[in-house]
């Protein structure tokens, strides 16, 4: 039988080795977990236990919210909602230098707050506003960096699939509290990107937009209002207990479908494409969750979370412990996609948070913030790949322009980490904690 340190080495070396060989991440999780499990369970038992853990890992009503929110985001991408939010963002950011770049940030925050997906925001908003920026003479690499850096606000500003996953893996942390806790950090992340945009825009001489007439202002707000009402309907309903997160996700699908029908910008073929894309994405996520059920079980019986927690807690200083946790999560985000990282590392960092008196809601926001920053960095940044594909640029062309945004969002992350009020104020004000 392996000691916990040996089990951790075997599991993670095998896991990352399989990833390097190009194995799908869910398969790598399952294989590395089962192989490590042979050191603790008889060979005729490990197969049955693995199947049981995979099934129990996805046997949750709460998890149904994920495919519903994925479908709602895809319908909104196809149904013309993105362009209306971009127009509203242009209205809000038009008076600042580099108006179209600020518009990109605000539109990602608005679209992310409705779709709950940073990838959907990067694709939907970037596809609409990118051509406008190029027409105005903006540097394409700078525009792509702005889009990539601001898209992860969509996983902090609710609804958010990763926050639902964290609630599940952490043993039932309040989804309502997590959703409301993400607002101020998500806005802070967007403002940090806008601060960098302003500095660069003034240096490069990017202009502001012209004044809009009152009739244009009224038209833009009127067209965007139905989409914004969805935030009040879904998030407000979840927060006050009118329905669960899963029911709220179903409401989001129904509302976005009706709204897109009224806008009449999508064909029935595009709706079918949205269903197909949502099914593929949801199956990938659910299979990841199922495979992670095996890994969580094997790590528990091997004592791996306790060993890691004891190692980090040797610093014996909450400030240093939080810093080490942030560094670890940032590095994890460089090499691992957000969903498996939440599933694998939440059970590891949760005991550490309990030990230093960190609220689970605060931990969830800090983890998602970290992994969101990681999603815009190579080598595995999903938002980075999507943003570059939308802008028709190579990744190496965007790396240097994105560095100032990385440092700015990291500063916002540290502020969120060391000022718990930013996360906990809204949930406490509404009596959710």
Distance in angstroms (rounded) separating the CA atoms of residues 428 and 60: 27
Question: For residues 236-272, b (16+ Cβ closer than 10 Å) or e, as one string?
Answer: ebbbeeeebbbbbbbbbbebbbebbeeeeebeeebbe
Exposure of 325 in the CB half-sphere (CA atoms within 13 A) = 33
pLDDT at 369 over 90: yes
Mean pLDDT score, 353-380: 87
Contact 42, 305 (CB under 8 A): no
pLDDT at residue 185 in the model: 94
Per-residue pLDDT of 75-96, as tens digits, reads 877 776 767 777 777 777 666 7
User: Highest mean pLDDT: which of 3-12, 300-309, 410-419?
Assistant: 410-419
Per-residue pLDDT of 151-194, as tens digits, reads 888 888 887 778 888 888 888 788 889 989 999 999 999 999 99
Range with the poorest average pLDDT among 50-59, 108-117, 422-431: 108-117
Contact 148, 122 (CB under 8 A): yes
Distance in angstroms (rounded) separating the CA atoms of residues 430 and 20: 46
pLDDT at residue 56 in the model: 77
Query: What percent of the chain lies above the pLDDT cut of 90?
Result: 12
pLDDT at residue 423 in the model: 93
Confidence class of residue 421 from pLDDT cuts 50, 70 and 90? very high
Mean pLDDT score, 376-385: 76
Centre a 10 Å sphere on the Cβ of residue 56 and count the other Cβ atoms it contains: 12
Mean pLDDT score, 337-352: 83
pLDDT at residue 196 in the model: 92
pLDDT at residue 379 in the model: 66
Confidence class of residue 371 from pLDDT cuts 50, 70 and 90? confident
- Mean residue pLDDT of the chain comes to 82
* Alpha-carbon Rg for the chain in angstroms: 22
Residue 174 CB-density burial (10 A; 0-12 exposed, 13-18 middle, 19+ buried): middle
Per-residue pLDDT of 285-301, as tens digits, reads 788 778 878 877 887 77
pLDDT at residue 172 in the model: 79
Mean pLDDT score, 234-241: 77
Question: For residues 274-309, b (16+ Cβ closer than 10 Å) or e, as one string?
Answer: beebbeebbeebbbbbbbbbbbbbbbeebbbbebbb
Confidence class of residue 209 from pLDDT cuts 50, 70 and 90? low
Q: Tokens in use for 392? A: 């028709």
Q: Tell which wins on pLDDT, 229 or 192.
A: 192
pLDDT at residue 208 in the model: 66
Question: In sequence order, what are the residues at sequence separation of 6 or more whose Cβ sits closer than 8 angstroms to the Cβ of residue 423?
Answer: 181, 182, 184, 185, 359, 361, 362, 365, 366, 416
Three-state secondary structure string covering 363-386: HHHHHHHHHHHHCCCCCCCHHHHH
């Amino acid at each position: 039988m392996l000691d916990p340190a040996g089990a951790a080495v075997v599991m993670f070396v095998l896991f990352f080795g399989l990833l390097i060989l190009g194995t799908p991440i869910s398969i790598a999780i399952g294989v590395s977990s089962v192989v490590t499990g042979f050191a603790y369970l008889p060979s005729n038992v490990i197969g049955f236990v693995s199947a049981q853990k995979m099934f129990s890992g996805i046997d949750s009503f709460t998890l149904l919210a994920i495919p519903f929110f994925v479908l709602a985001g895809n319908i909104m991408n196809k149904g013309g909602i993105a362009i209306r939010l971009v127009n509203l963002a242009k209205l809000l950011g038009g008076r600042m230098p580099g108006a179209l770049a600020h518009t990109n940030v605000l539109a990602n925050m608005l679209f992310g707050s409705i779709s709950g997906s940073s990838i959907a925001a990067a694709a939907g908003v970037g596809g609409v506003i990118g051509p406008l920026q190029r027409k105005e003479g903006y540097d394409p690499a700078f525009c792509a960096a702005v889009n990539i850096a601001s898209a992860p606000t969509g996983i902090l500003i609710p609804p958010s699939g990763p926050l639902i996953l964290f609630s599940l893996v952490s043993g039932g942390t309040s989804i309502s509290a997590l959703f409301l806790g993400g607002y101020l950090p998500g806005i802070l992340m967007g403002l940090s990107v806008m601060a960098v945009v302003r500095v660069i825009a003034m240096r490069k001489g990017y202009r502001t937009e012209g004044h809009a007439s009152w009739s244009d202002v009224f038209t833009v707000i009127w067209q965007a209002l139905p989409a914004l009402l969805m935030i009040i309907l879904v998030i407000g309903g979840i927060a006050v207990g009118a329905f669960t997160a899963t029911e709220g996700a179903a409401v989001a699908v129904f509302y976005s479908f009706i709204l897109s029908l009224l806008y009449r910008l999508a064909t029935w073929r595009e709706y079918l494409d949205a269903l197909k894309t949502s099914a593929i994405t949801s199956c990938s996520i659910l299979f990841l969750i199922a495979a992670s059920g095996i890994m969580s079980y094997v790590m528990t019986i091997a004592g791996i979370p306790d060993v890691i927690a004891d190692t980090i807690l040797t610093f014996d200083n909450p400030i240093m412990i939080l810093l080490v946790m942030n560094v670890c999560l940032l590095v994890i985000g460089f090499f691992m996609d957000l969903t498996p990282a939440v599933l694998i590392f939440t059970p590891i960092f949760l005991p550490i948070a309990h030990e230093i008196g960190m609220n689970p809601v605060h931990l969830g926001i800090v983890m998602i913030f970290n992994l969101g920053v990681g999603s815009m960095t190579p080598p595995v940044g999903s938002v980075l790949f999507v943003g570059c594909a939308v802008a028709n640029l190579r990744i190496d062309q965007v790396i240097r322009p994105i560095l100032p945004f990385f440092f700015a969002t990291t500063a916002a992350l540290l502020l969120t980490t060391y000022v718990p009020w930013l996360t906990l104020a809204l949930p406490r004000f509404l009596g959710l904690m």
